[in-house]
Chain A
């Protein structure tokens, strides 16, 4: 450890592992440390099942047989990959995709008026959907056609609205969409978490709906992908990329001090050892005094022996409960994965309900989500603080990622990583630097 590095990365969560990979590939000498004895930090998939129970201070009960403990790989933070999203692009450009296998998520649903319906995404589905009345269906169809034909580069496709200056509200009104349709468009297609986007530029909403439909077009049933063996495979795969490019990994290593001289980081101390460095990249848990808490996210893991009712027995799915449907400010998300993803024992399902906390009783807030699940055999609840760095790290050269937010996908994760890399290195990541030895042949 007593060496000098260009960068020391603390924590092996997904963001830190992607950064570590990017830095190593860019020729930096990287030391990557985690205080845990496993890879992944908060983005690990917990295995075996006994470990999950003990993490929540309980033990496996005798009366319910959850199958073989080591068949379980349970995520702590529920997310899916958008098939045409930033993380997939990053996986493909870095070649990390070779380490992973995926399945398409089977269904995407939205909650309205007390029941769930499939999210309509094309004209055909819009016309068949039970979410809207007949006239509304035609208006929504026209809206979808507009989005489909819309091209940022070609103003002719903008029709008579300028998406660079008009708001989303104006865009909706142009097509005469009713409040219900606006609601599921903004929350189930554009995947906004709350209603602030209504006054944001129309172009942002259009881009997000396009991401949804482009993702859907890639693999079929839904726009989402999920990796075999759980999300914990993602950080590990980027860690391997980093290692192959010379990154050094240390697990189970306490971090006792980030050594600062004249306001700038010069090293990291563990016990009596000090590794010297020019920069530190880390998650908020390693620098409690340099982050501020913005809000909280509640996440509830439910182990079940059946699929979610009214989803056509989907082995994986996502249900979005738009805030207005349940008189909230932020949406509630439900996600389901199962034994077919090698994350649970045969016949078992893992549902997750999550949202941004708004009250003093977060468990009550997720009740509308839990009510959709039917029965469950075990429930684990976490309420985690969402942190942001207090500064950009320009002076201290300590670059801190934000906590994982309540969004159901990895778009904000990638944005944060790309920003951190740029802040730290002063340049955009150059994908052409990735050349593995095998490709020379």
Chain B
């Protein structure tokens, strides 16, 4: 079964426990919403691929959820490895979840140096008339982190507002910014890191053998 390989791009969700990272994941993957009262915990959410297109170019966005590890312990550094983008999520009705973001940002720049970073204020349905986190706060934050943040978004997983728009926009930005890198890779000028491979997937243990890496 020959197919043209669409590049996979890992995008990770970061932020405090309870800001709605898994809800964003569910909206993205299945367009569903489960209210906190009827939900047990982050269970079984791993990663999910979805294709985004700009003109004739497309990518497989691979969104990753934390697996709930941030509840008590810290997230593994592995989570950040190979990430092309990170979405910093906070809850618009919880100022503390916003003020702690610089810590999450630090982890991203440490372990996923080259990832593009996006800021997402979730639970916009709970914002009310006196917002806990204002747009000015968000702008200030972006300025303080030396414009490391590529774009900011407001979403509501409950109503679905802004969610698909956010992922589509991130997908678009990844396609545009990765153009040169992908072209470099196809020309074989990658050097380090381009000849590493994933082991054959489940069930394909016998059949699927990765191509032997080149000797260059």
Q: Using a CB–CB distance below 8 Å, which chain A residues touch chain B?
A: 37, 39, 47, 70, 88-89, 91-93, 95, 97-104, 218-221, 225, 228-229, 233, 236-237, 239-240, 243-246, 248-251, 339-340, 342, 435-438, 441
Residue contact B205 to A436, C-beta cutoff 8 Å: no
Q: Tell me, in angstroms, the Cα distance from A403 to B195 when the chains sit together.
A: 33
Are the C-beta atoms of B193 and A236 separated by less than 8 Å? no
A-B contact pairs, 15 of them (CB 8 A): A88-B199, A91-B199, A97-B199, A97-B200, A219-B209, A221-B212, A236-B79, A239-B69, A240-B76, A240-B78, A244-B43, A251-B73, A437-B45, A438-B29, A441-B30
Residue of A nearest to B77 (CB): A236
Closest 4 CB pairs of A and B: A249-B73, A236-B76, A220-B212, A437-B44
Interface residues of B in 187-216 (CB under 8 A from A): 192-193, 195-202, 205, 209-210, 212-213
**Contact (Cβ within 8 A) A243 B69:** yes
Q: Which residues of B contact A101 (CB under 8 A)?
A: 82, 196-198
User: Which residues of B lie under 8 Å from residue A240 when comparing CB positions?
Assistant: 67, 69, 76, 78-79
Number of B positions contacting A (CB below 8 A): 39
Which residue of chain B has the shortest Cβ distance to A99 in the bound complex?
Answer: B78
Measured between alpha carbons, how far is A342 from B81 in the docked complex, in Å?
Answer: 11
A229→B195 CA distance, assembly (Å): 14
Task: For B81, list chain A residues within 8 Å (CB).
Answer: 228-229, 233
Instruction: Look across to chain B and name the residue whose beta carbon is closest to the beta carbon of A48.
Output: B110
| B115 CB, min distance to chain A CBs, angstroms | 15
Identify A95's interface contact among B45, B68, B110, B202, CB under 8 A: B202
B47 within 8 A of A: yes
- B199 and A102 contacting across the interface, CB-CB below 8 Å: yes
B residues in contact with A438, CB < 8 Å: 29, 45-48
Chain B: residues with CB nearer than 8 A to chain A?
Answer: 29-30, 41-48, 67-69, 71-74, 76-79, 81-82, 110, 192-193, 195-202, 205, 209-210, 212-213
Known: A98-B198, A438-B29. 11 other contacts (CB 8 A): A91-B199, A97-B198, A101-B196, A103-B197, A228-B196, A243-B67, A244-B67, A437-B45, A437-B46, A438-B45, A441-B29
Q: Once the chains are docked, how many angstroms separate the CA of A262 from the CA of B191? A: 61
* Contact residues in B for A248 (Cβ distance below 8 Å): 71-72
Closest B residue to A92 using CB positions: B205
Bound-complex Cα distance A244 to B67 (A): 5
Residues of A within 8 A of B212 (CB): 104, 219-221
Contact in complex: B193, A218 (CB < 8 Å): no
| Shortest Cβ gap from A252 to chain B (Å) | 8
Chain B residues closer than 8 Å to A437, beta-carbon distance:
43-46
Q: A101: nearest residue on chain B (CB-CB)?
A: B196
